[in-house]
Structure 1
Amino acid sequence: MELKLGVLALLEAKPEKAAEVKEFLIGGKDIVDREPGTRTWYAFQIDDTHFGIFDSFADEDARNAHLGGEIPKALGQVGPDLLAKDPDLRTVDLLAVKHEEVDAQS
């Protein structure tokens, strides 16, 4: 199934809460593992206080299910305590995707 859509969320942690934001994002993988429509999910750190999430989807229904799912709800609950400002959330259209299967036996 072709990946056509994405979500990019950029997060700025309060300096004293950066470690907690990092742990929140690491723990988020367990949640998105239960979302069949979320085809890829990346949580990343840009610098000491800036983080992000990028997800991809095959269709609008899957993206909307994710946006209404557990990660945004959890972020809404912890965000005011952990983040310096509201997340910068953007929906994107994917123009080109390279996806390579990795041989698990390598």
Structure 2
Amino acid sequence: MIKHAFFVRLEAKPGKEQAVADFLAAGLEMTNRETTTPIWFALKLSPTTFGVFDAFASEEDREAHLHGSMAGALMAHADEMLASPPSIEPIDVLAMKNQVP
């Protein structure tokens, strides 16, 4: 059961909006290799603001994601792409529907 999640807000530097969008699109491959990250979304919230929502079955899985390839790649490129450090908010999942037609 999914109970733990992160919401990460990313603000692109001027002129780096496409770089952030491309990085997040490429992140799907990295997160697909993380067996403890079953739910992952890359989001565009505004022309310069992006986000990631990911969810996990346990606190241990959530913590493991912070040390995974996607998080490492993000932090390695943060200074070049982002106007400020990522805002990483741990959140609790109260209820969930996951039904794809």
| TM-score bin, normalised by smaller chain | over 0.9
Aligned residues: 101
Question: Following superposition, which runs of at least 4 residues in structure 1 exceed 2 angstroms of deviation?
Answer: none
Matches of 2:23 and 2:100 in 1, distance apart? 28
Task: Give 1:43 deviation, angstroms.
Answer: 0.1
- AA in 2 matched with 1:24: F
Q: Percent sequence identity over matched residues? A: 38
Task: Give 1:98 deviation, angstroms.
Answer: 0.9
Gaps of 5+ in 2: none
For residues 32-74 of structure 1, what are the alpha-carbon distances to aligned partners after superposition, in whole Å with 9 as ceiling and x for unaligned?
A: 0011111100001011100000000011111111111111111
Larger Rg: 1
Residue 41 of structure 1 is matched in structure 2 by 40
TM-score with structure 2 setting the length:
0.96
Q: Compute the RMSD of aligned alpha carbons.
A: 0.8
Matches of 2:47 and 2:100 in 1, distance apart? 32
